Structure formats: C-alpha cells, structure tokens
Structure 1
C-alpha cells in the first residue's frame, strides 16, 4: 500500500458515520423548516453525532502517527484539517443545534441555520483544499515515478 492509499484509507474510514449524521441532521433541519412545531428525535440525532465525533477523533489520532511525506504539498495535513473542522462542528455547532431542536421554539430553523451554514461552508472549503492537495500530490509523484522509470532503463 502506498502513502496516498494509506492516508485515504485511514482518513476516510470515518466517512460512513459522518455521512449518516449529516444526512440525519439535514433531514432534521428540513423538517423544522417545513413545520416549526415538528418533533425531532434528538436522542437518535445526538447518538449519530457522538458516533461521528468518536470515529473522526480516532481517525485523527491514527493520522497523527503517520509522517507527512511532502510537507510542501501537505496532503495528510489537509485531510487532518478537514477532519478537525468536522470534529469541531460536532463538539460545538452541531451539539448546540441539537439542543435548539429540543427547545421547540418558533425560530429553531433560523437559529440552527445560522449555526450550521458557516461551519458547513468551512468543512466544504477544507474538503476542496484536500482534493486540490491530492491532485498536486498525484501529479508530483506520478511525474517523479515516470522520470525514475525512464532513468532506470
């Protein structure tokens, strides 16, 4: 297994739990937007949040043990930045949003939206940066592998 595969295997191992939580959170926000009096299953939502937080935190710890091969590109660091953005949201904005859902106040949607949207945009931005770093890493090391192959023949 090469470096890129290792980073991705570890870095994306928490993706199913993250995706499940994000899907449920999105559905909850939509329900509250459509019906201000709707009841959200906050126990289930918080259980998914905690599971996503736990697997994300474990993933960060595993990645911390791996040396960054190319600090100038910083692919591993970009994955960790994205994971930390999500981890922070789970500990703060997402947790607060679940508490707001439980309050059943008329402006739940607006309050949750104002908490979640900025953090979701930050997570999306760090995801985009990681994708760019991956492309740079691949193009840099694919080129070097091609050059090494040519010089060895």
Structure 2
C-alpha cells in the first residue's frame, strides 16, 4: 500500500518548511534516501508526507501562495513509496508492463523510475515481510470499480 508521498521542493527550503510546520504543531524529521535530502511528517490520517530536494533539477513552476514564496514552494510530486510484504509482483508490473526500470537498491528499498519524463517519475518500494496488511480507513488509496469505490490493499 502507498505509505509515503514525496513532493519536490528547492534546495535551501527546509528551514522555511520546518518553521511553517512547527507553527501548525507538526513534528518533522530530516533524513536522506538515495542521496536526496528529505523532510518527513505525517498528515492527520497517518500518511507520511515527504518534502524532497531532488538530485535532479526540477524546473516546474512552483505553487506559490500569499504565505509560500517561490524560493520554498512545492514544485509537484516527486515520488510515491509502496510498502509491501514482497516486492516481486509489483516490481514485475512496473518493469514488464509499465516500462519502469530498477535504478537503485539499498537493502530492502528499491527505486524504480521511467525515463519518459524528467519529474514525478519515481516509485520506491520498501519490502517488509512483517508489515501488517493494509486496511480500509482514512488515508488509504482507492480506485473506482464498476460497483463503486474499493480500497486497494497490498
């Protein structure tokens, strides 16, 4: 199931985001994955959101507001992270059907990307055999079926 959503932000913006999130009583944590700096926090439903300084330049027009200037604004999606008991089946869908390729691996974390676009082209998989099964609740991902909405659980 999708457990992390990453958004691209510019170099030097973490100070702004830490202060802004702290003003809203949101706890953050800095980390690095595959050489990219990230600032993580949870949304109210428990989904982990990550602000990521991409290893590759992101020239997309930032989303600015009265409170968020261009030098800190989000550029758009960077990646999604799926946490799965086994990576094999999803990895095959990504590579054999959707045209992604495995770019990096660090322990139980795999990074897949497509070269058809330059941004928002990354799917990370964390393989964790002990992860609990997903459940239908706030913050889960849904897809439309002929009979209505259903939760996709990995």
Query: Normalising by structure 2, what TM-score?
Result: 0.20
Greater per-residue helix proportion: 1
Q: Larger % of strand: which? A: 2
Please tell me whether Structure 1 or Structure 2 has the larger radius of gyration of its CA atoms. 1
More relative contact order in 1 or in 2 (CA 8 Å, sep 6+)?
A: 1
